[in-house]
Structure 1
């Protein structure tokens, strides 16, 4: 797939900016806080309808404006598509494909596929479980767009159940609360089982690819293992079995939930375990080991998405080369070649060899304006 054009209107610090991409690699050069990352964020939003930097749409709309719009022309093997995402300061976002409004946002997902790799991704190893869950969920949305709807359903039930627990934790006795909760328990187990099974399948597919990339980057001196550790005991991935285990664990934690007024069971408490040579990477991995691990994860994402959608996704590298030493930079650049259309942000061109610079489109970014080289 190839991103031909991108137009940003009142998005972040862009007033009205059109970009035409004319090479497999585009390098966006500029000082910090000029808008380089904002451009990559716009592409990420078209691919996943999520931003790893902001949770509220109003923060993406330019100050003093009511709406922001991202428009792109994408070329795929099946033809050319025109994508539009409209973000509102006060109100719901909307999406359109080839000029036609799309009611269900999950029908918009999967048109453009992209893998984002930024310096923030080092938190995948160092940070808490929530970051790793978000990473896996974002990948799953691209592998299986219906997952966005499944996750939304689960989070809706979770919020309702938590509100119920908070409301009634002190007003009902245990027996009465338990019977009232039965309805929410059933819904939580049903929607949560769908999340757990898909997460498990995704890790089963991703782990061997990431392990192979990691061995290649580390010169086979280290072994990466990725394990999905669901909050529900997962003997096998059969839906009835997972659902029964889910309900059984809810029963076990019922008293604790009543005391704390919150849901303690479900995929919102899952963990993805990353180990190097059987040692937790988060606790003992050096910075170099952690960077190798994240690089292996990102290359595995690229490969898995390509295998599933049958076309190479876009790669968005946000100021990441500065975080990698020369050896890891070369591993990454060799893996990309011209196979993936790549958008790269940097503060200076010194990180790139002359061959890369010759074959790349170079754009300068200053205060929300893009100037060709």
Structure 2
């Protein structure tokens, strides 16, 4: 796949800007806070409808404007697609594909795929379980766009169930109408079932994608570390999935809810489900979070990103875009060479950097280089 162009209107610090991609490799050069990462974020939004930097659309709109827009043209094996996202403040975003407005996000996803690697990705190792769950979900959305509606449905059920648990706790504390409590508990049983059904779909897919990406990442890690270190990636589901049959996972879900019934009522929140999952990362059988040096952690994240590229290409049949946000300066020469060697001409790559000295002459000659300054792009 190849992103031919991107147009930004009142997006972040861009008033109106068009970038036509004229090479397989594009280098965005500029000082910090000029808009380099904003351009990568726009591509990320076209690919996943998510930003790893914010959950609020109003943050994406140029200050003083009420509407922002990203337009892009992508060429695939099966043809060309024009994509568009319009953000409103206030109001809901709207999506467009080939000049037609879409009613469902599902119709938009899957037309462009991208893997981003930034210095923030070290949070995969150091950060909270929520960071690793978000990474997993973003990967799944690219591999299987229907997963976006699956995780949204689970989160919707979770919110409604949590709201009911708060009502139940208030009823118990006030010791009011026992008939109300009985009705609320009956209602909770219905939400238990819905949470188990939706959660099972999430858990099984997360388990499968970890099973697929783990050996790929482990092989990359072995190669980058010259065989001196062993990486392990383990899925730690909140629900036991010794057997992966949907009915068995769902029953395990319901059994655990029953076991934690009192805790949930006291805390007035759901403590069972994939919103409590984690992914375990180990180097030489030791948790990378507590043991790995910064260099080891960078190697681990690089291996995961290379595995993402490989897995997406295997599943969709085309190489995804690679977005590198100021990471070359963070990598030592060995890791830089590993990454640049893998890229070659295989992936369309957009790289942000503050300096060009990280690239060899051949790379610079074969790259489109754009200067980014105050939300404006200049050809170099």
Shorter-chain TM-score: which interval?
Answer: over 0.9
Deviations 1:208-249, CA, capped at 9 Å, x for gaps:
100110001000111111111100011111100000000000
Matches within 5 A, 1:205-284: 205-284=212-291
The answer to whether structure 1 residue 112 and structure 2 residue 112 are counterparts is yes
Residue matched to 2:22: 22
Distance 2:276 2:185 in 1: 22
Matches within 5 A, 1:321-360: 321-360=328-367
The answer to whether structure 1 residue 303 and structure 2 residue 310 are counterparts is yes
Distance 2:95 2:186 in 1: 41
Give how far 1:178 is off.
3.5
- Normalising by structure 1, we get a TM-score of 0.99
Deviations 1:92-128, CA, capped at 9 Å, x for gaps:
1111111011111111100000001000000100111
Distance 1:315 1:89 in 2: 30
Distance 2:260 2:22 in 1: 57
Give me the CA root mean square deviation. 1.0
Structure 2 unmatched runs, 5+: none
Paired residue total? 373
Give how far 1:23 is off.
0.6
Distance 1:58 1:170 in 2: 35
Matches within 5 A, 1:137-216: 137-172=137-172, 176=182, 177-216=184-223
Aligned partner of residue 351 in structure 1, secondary structure: coil
Residue matched to 1:32: 32
Distance 2:244 2:329 in 1: 41
The answer to whether structure 1 residue 77 and structure 2 residue 84 are counterparts is no
Structure 1 unmatched runs, 5+: none
Aligned partner of residue 357 in structure 2, secondary structure: helix
The answer to whether structure 1 residue 364 and structure 2 residue 365 are counterparts is no
Deviations 1:56-80, CA, capped at 9 Å, x for gaps:
0011011111111100111111111
Distance 1:179 1:349 in 2: 64
Distance 1:312 1:162 in 2: 41
Residue matched to 1:128: 128
Distance 1:28 1:44 in 2: 16
Deviations 1:1-46, CA, capped at 9 Å, x for gaps:
0111100000000000000111111000000000000000000000
Distance 1:154 1:142 in 2: 18
Give how far 1:161 is off.
0.7
Distance 1:11 1:320 in 2: 23
Residue matched to 1:58: 58
Distance 1:166 1:370 in 2: 51
Distance 1:300 1:128 in 2: 21
Moved over 3 A (4+): 172-175
Give how far 1:168 is off.
2.1
Aligned partner of residue 95 in structure 2, secondary structure: strand
The answer to whether structure 1 residue 8 and structure 2 residue 15 are counterparts is no
Aligned partner of residue 350 in structure 1, secondary structure: coil
Aligned partner of residue 34 in structure 1, secondary structure: coil
Distance 2:250 2:185 in 1: 18
Residue matched to 2:92: 92
